[in-house]
Amino acid sequence: MPSGIVWLVIVVLVALLFDYINGFHDTANAIATSVSTKALTPQRAVMLAAVLNFIGALSGTAVAGTIGKGIVAPQDITQEVVVAGLIGAICWNIITWLSGIPSSSSHALIGGIVGAVVAGYGFGALIWAGLQKIILILILSPILGFTSGYLIMTILFFVFGRKSPVKVNEVFRRLQIFSASMMSFSHGSNDAQKSMGIITMALVSAGLITEFYVPLWVILACATAMALGTAAGGWRIIKTMGGKIFKLE
């Protein structure tokens, strides 16, 4: 069996692989509409997303703390469990990417980690208070997104309903560059931190750090992996998001 340090290295590599895949898998969420409406060329959109994902990943570590110590106590699990959870999440991301189906890497990662912990130690190993908060947010996110989108679109119809569609489309096509930028920054600030949390969890589990804090090298490594994955693009999902779910002008 591999030694503890070997397992730790495996965790780090697999977590960075997940971050890389997350980058090209979820790139479509931020830039698909901008590409489909020709607000940005595909190459410029991907590069913009890559840069802002990297910057976003450097913006903090609060999400890393929630993932790394809010689901299970790091000192109570082994590296094998962490690897199993990551591989489960990676497999699902690859399946949905090959199918061109947009899905959440966050859902995949949390589900993978929870499943691995339950398989290894049972439901009693989970920190239910923290997990309930995470699950609640995962459920509320699409509901709040739908509600906000509906309300904002209703207001925009009221304000611009009688304006020239050509002029309105031109204005909002340009605004999509801003929205794509903010989506990319938000993706980096949120999703890259999940891998930071997983790696830090493994460091605590291995006894290399005694309290939960995200080392600088972990932040930089995860930010870089996310940016590189984003730069690789996710053209299958971009095509689905940009033209197969709804018609854009």
Q: So what's the pLDDT on residue 200?
A: 94
- pTM to 2 decimal places: 0.84
The model's pLDDT over 100-145, given as tens digits with 9 standing for 90+, comes to: 777 788 889 999 999 999 999 999 899 999 899 989 988 898 899 9
Domain regions of the chain by residue span: 4-130+162-244
pLDDT over 90 percentage in the chain: 34
- CB burial of 165-185 (b: ≥16 within 10 Å; e: otherwise) equals eeeeeeeebeebbeebbebbb
How many Å apart are CA 56 and CA 227, to the nearest integer?
A: 10
pLDDT at 185: 92
Cα-Cα-Cα-Cα torsion 209, 110, 82, 53, nearest 10 degrees, comes to -60
Predicted confidence at residue 167, as pLDDT, reads 80
In sequence order, the β-bridge partners of residue 126 are: 72
Q: Could you give the CA distance from residue 123 to residue 132 in angstroms, rounded to a whole number?
A: 13
Whether the per-residue pLDDT at 97 is higher than 70: the answer is yes
Q: Are 13 and 21 in contact (CB under 8 A)?
A: no
pLDDT of residue 148: 95
Distance CA 230, CA 183 (A): 13
The average pLDDT across 221-227 equals 94
Is residue 234 pLDDT above 70, yes or no?
no
User: What's the confidence (pLDDT) of residue 87?
Assistant: 95
pLDDT at 196 over 90: yes
> What's the rounded Cα separation, in Å, for the pair 25 and 16?
14
Q: Rounded CA gap, 63 and 172, in Å? A: 32
Summarize the confidence of residues 152-162 as an average pLDDT: 86
How far apart CA 81 and CA 87 sit, in angstroms, is 10
Q: How does the average pLDDT of the chain come out, rounded?
A: 85
